[in-house]
Structure 1
Amino acid sequence: MQIEADYGDVFLSKKLIKSGLIVSVMTLVSRVLGLIRDVVIANVMGTGLMADVFLFANKIPNFLRRLFAEGAFAQAFVPVLSEYQVKDEQQAEEEGKQNNHEKTRILIGQVSGTLGVIITGVTLFGMLASPLFVMLFGFGWFADWYSDAPGGEKFTLASNLLSITFPYLWFISFAALSGAVLNTMGRFAVAAFTPVLLNIAIISMAIFGAPYTQSPAHALAWGVFLGGLIQFLFQIPFLYKTGMLVKPKWSWHSEGVSKIRKLIVPALFGVSVTQINLLLDTLIASFLITGSISWLYYADRLLEFPLGLFGIGIATVVLPSLSKLHSNNSPEEFSATIDWGIRVISLFGWPALAGLMVLAQPIIMVLFMRGEFSQHDVIQVSMALFAYLSGLLSFMFIKILAPGYYARQDTKTPVKIGIKAMVANMFFNLMLAPFLGYVGLALATTLSATLNAWLLYRGLKAKGVYELPTKTLIFIGKLVLSALVMVLVVYQLSSEFEVWLAMNFLKQVEQLTLCILAGVASYLVMIILLGVRLSDFKVIKR
């Protein structure tokens, strides 16, 4: 279904824009604190043995979080929850009564009880079997430990840290469930703010807890544990205020849970392809030189800043909106909302890509180069970042296109696409890693994500759900041209790597700020000159 713009017929714009702004602002706060957290980690541990091990121990529960929390679970839960809310609204309207959300409350109780039993079992197993997880995803370390080779201590330390960080999965799963409920109720700010608490906990433990633990890595692991606990407790009062804090109940065979089960099984794989690819990267990186995992981590964190701020922020408000539009049988509005998401992330994604490409090394230098983080690490991280950045828009488009399937309760198609993308990623890994090392792993992830995004779009187009309108293609072309002008301006203002190194910290910050402000100004001037207006971001229908 191709949508040609008719700006006189506008709907949902104000609500989507307001919700998007709320989520983006809260996400910005979280991402800034996340960067501060990474600065602290880089200062305390650098990119050596302890850093590799802690980042590994933190990655496993975060991967499972994508499955049991805001990843596949949310993609299956939110459409069903929206459907139940629509039913409650329709029933209340037919009976002329106030909506008490009876069906919605019952569903939440059934889902929380069923999820609780499963997550408790997975968490306990993970804590007891942490060496098994390390063996599976860090086999290079296990091989060193088994053969008493140098570096074998990584396996022992990773097993110990993983047993501390694994309960984070339990806490964050329920925090994510609460966030999904609040988002569907239109309360986006609470769930968007919650990650701030994790960053505060990790930073606090790194600064104040390290003297009281075995190592800085142990302090950070306990920070992850406490951060999960605080996030879980923080959501409870807001659920109570909205009337959605209900008693959990095991209901494996109930209608709502059964529906979610059918949706979540394929979604477990489909929505988490990127995370699975990152774990496969970690497995291969365990065979590479020490520092590879850390270099990939810091590059990924810088990539996650614009991806989380714009891609995930916009996707957070798009999914509930799409789910309700599908339940209300509004295909034109459904397609227009996807198009709105594509336009918004394109507006921010292209300059983010251009700016990070040109200023990668100065940004890494200013943020991380102190303490145990060296000049050599700056260069290594920047190389991985360049590889990741080439797929930034692909990562963002996936965040908008995938909900186009899940909101329609179609989880089979993304699974098929996900399998193709993961197979391609393994092929790219094996093809590139022997020659490019950890940079090859980053590039493989980018190539597979691009394939994933293309196949998602092609599938929506084939089903008549969404096709890029001509005006949107022209709009994106204007943004790309503006970003290229921005690159030229920033490149002229920036200095050579050696010159940046010779500057003191304050001078580096001053020069970097000047480059960023000039880049933003040139981008804004160009998009205005090329005719981009606020009306381009209204949700429109044919």
Structure 2
Amino acid sequence: MFLKGFLTNSSGILTSRILGFFRDLLTATTLGAGIYSDIFFVAFKLPNLFRRVFGEGAFNQAFLPGLFNARLRGGFALKIGLIFCTILIVLSCFAGIFSASITKLLAFGFSDDLIELTAPLVAINFWYLLLIFIVTLFGAMLQFKRNFTAWAYSPALLNLAMIVALLLARNSEAYEAVIILSYGVLAGGIMQILLHCFPMYRLGFFKLLFAGFKELKTKPHNTNYIDKRKSIDQSVKRFFKQFFPAMLGSSTAQFASFIDTLLASFLASGTISYLYYANRIFQLPLAVFAIATSTALFPLVAKFLKESKEEEALKALSKSFWFLAILLSICTVGGMFLKNEIIWLLFERGKFVREDTLMCANVFVAYLLGLLPFGLARIFSLWLYSKNQQVLAAKISAFSLLVGTFFSLILMQFFGAVGLALAGSISGVFVFLLTLHYFSWKYFLSILWNPKFILLTCLLLCVESLVLFAFKAYIFSLN
């Protein structure tokens, strides 16, 4: 079951990322790296932030334990769903009415003309928050039964819908193309919900939610109904007590990207797009290797620590550490050698010109410096989560966000977009070091001191460097 879940999640992530690259390729071709791509990325930033915060574990970390422990699971799941859906519907209506003010907050450096162009797009994209919450709720319920397929592959449907929208918009005016793309986001959200409906029906979760309506009813002077309502309310309170620190801990990377977009709006046109495209490539190895590895490792470490088998947990952690360290090191070295060639191959066409390629490549390298610490921090943070130290993990993440913001404000003055990406990598180093501090330096050094893997890593990196050097010298090099 563990291997099946790992392969399902990793293959789903990989499929989504591949389609995401095709989506970005078409976005670069259709919109280039300028005003119209910037306004779409600003409009899509908040829904994308919400999707990542919920999708990368914040909701599941609180919901799944709550569902396991709830005496009335249908009423618990339904009440959580109703609370969030009500809030998001109100917020989406609010965003439609005050879209200009919200846009000003998202891109404070935009001129009034750009705010006017972006505001309708913000109002459209905001409704995706409601759709992705429903997807997240259904996905978490399916994971209760260890059914991962719909959840793993649903992000691919969003990318597919956006690809279709971009193909339909290729011959349209730039602003009209951005509007079509925004409606493509909503279509993708609906497709994601529909994908979850069949397994939800097959596993009986719709019946469970329907039963929840009866469980939530209260009848005056009926002790049984009042007790049921109290039990559900207690489960919901426990959920929110766990949810907020989990959300903070899972969302700092996304909030950092959100802040970078805000700061980038003060820089030259195209800066937001360079950050977006470079970060998309950076996220591929982080997602396919780091997130997939941590997802597979978490239940194993948690089980060993619960059974007081600390040595077994450390062994599992050590194997995963070296597996991930080798893969991410290879990706880092390869990305640095082929920075220009990667951006050229993926994005340089249409309105995305050579100057954009070279600028985006430098931003990409700055992000790559943080690949290893960000990825490895995910592994060691599992130790904290397994010991119910979510609040501590959230504090580490919050401190790293402050550090990243501080360095962003300084480095953007000298290096522009590259400085913003570099600040993010510095933040990753702080997350890694602080996580190790609370994990135990003694344990970490015992894991790190493995001559066999140290030699293997050095050998692989030397061979990779020689091969890529020869490739660039004798086959192809983009300068």
CA distance in 2, matches of 1:411, 1:35: 33
Aligned partner of 2:437 in structure 1 is 458
In 2: Cα distance, 1:124 partner to 1:337 partner: 48
Corresponding residue of 1:19: 5
Q: Cα 1:46–1:334, aligned 2, differ >3 Å: closer, same or farther?
A: same
Which structure dedicates a bigger proportion of its chain to helix? Answer: 2
Q: 1:383 to 1:468 in 2, by over 3 A?
A: same
Is 1:470 equivalent to 2:458 in the alignment?
Answer: no
Equivalent pairs, count: 459
Between the aligned partners of 1:469 and 1:114, the Cα distance in structure 2 is 47
Give per-residue Cα distances to partners, 1:323-360, cap 9 Å, x unaligned.
56666666555544444443332242121112111112
Shift, 1:256, TM fit: 2.3
Q: Give the distance between the partners of 1:324 and 1:133, measured in 2 at CA.
A: 44
Superposition map of 1:248-287 within 5 A: 254-287=233-266
What secondary structure, in the 3-state scheme, does the structure 2 residue paired with 1:304 have?
helix
Q: Secondary structure at the match of 1:234?
A: helix
Q: Secondary structure of the equivalent of 1:271? A: helix
Aligned alpha-carbon RMSD (Å): 2.8
Q: Does the CA-based 8 Å contact 1:384-1:439 persist in structure 2?
A: yes
* Cα distance in 1 between the residues matched to 2:95 and 2:323: 39
Partner of 2:181: 220
SS at match of 1:494: helix
Within the alignment, does 1:482 sit opposite 2:460 as a pair?
yes
Q: How does 1:303-314 map to 2 (within 5 A)?
A: 303-314=282-293
Q: Which amino acid aligns with 1:119?
A: L
Alignment of 1:19-418 (within 5 A): 19-81=5-67, 83-84=68-69, 104-141=73-110, 144-145=111-112, 153-209=113-169, 215-245=176-206, 246-247=208-209, 254-322=233-301, 331-418=310-397
* Alpha-carbon distance, 1:103 to partner: 5.1
> Residues 349-375 of structure 1: CA distance to partner in whole angstroms, max 9, x if unpaired?
121112111112111111111100100
Q: Say if 1:39 and 1:212 are closer, same or farther in 2 by CA, change over 3 A.
A: closer
Offset at 1:177? 2.2
Q: Which of 1 and 2 has higher RCO (CA within 8 Å, sep 6+)?
A: 1
1:493 equivalent to 2:471? Answer yes
CA contact (8 A) 1:24 1:313 kept: yes
Shift of 1:314: 2.3
- Once residues 304 and 422 of structure 1 are traced to their aligned partners in structure 2, the CA distance between those partners, rounded to angstroms, is 18
1:314 partner letter: T
Q: Does the CA contact (< 8 Å) of 1:271 and 1:402 recur in 2?
A: no
Q: Contact 2:245–2:390 at 8 Å: present in 1 too?
A: yes
Contact 2:169 2:176 in 1 (8 A): no
Q: Partners of 2:339 and 2:425 in 1: how far apart?
A: 17
* 1:476–1:75 CA distance, 2 compared to 1 (3 A): farther
TM-aligned CA distance change 1:399 to 1:157, over 3 Å: farther
Note closer, same or farther for the CA distance 1:476–1:499 as it changes in structure 2 (3 Å cut): closer
Q: Secondary structure at the match of 1:140?
A: coil
Instruction: Extract unaligned runs of 5+ from structure 1.
Output: 1-14, 86-101, 146-152, 502-542
Q: Secondary structure at the match of 1:274?
A: helix
TM-score normalized by structure 2?
A: 0.87
Partner of 1:10: none
**What amino acid sits opposite 1:108 in the alignment?**
A
Q: Deviations over 1:115-170 (max 9, x none)?
A: 333333333333333322221221101xx21xxxxxxx221122111111111111
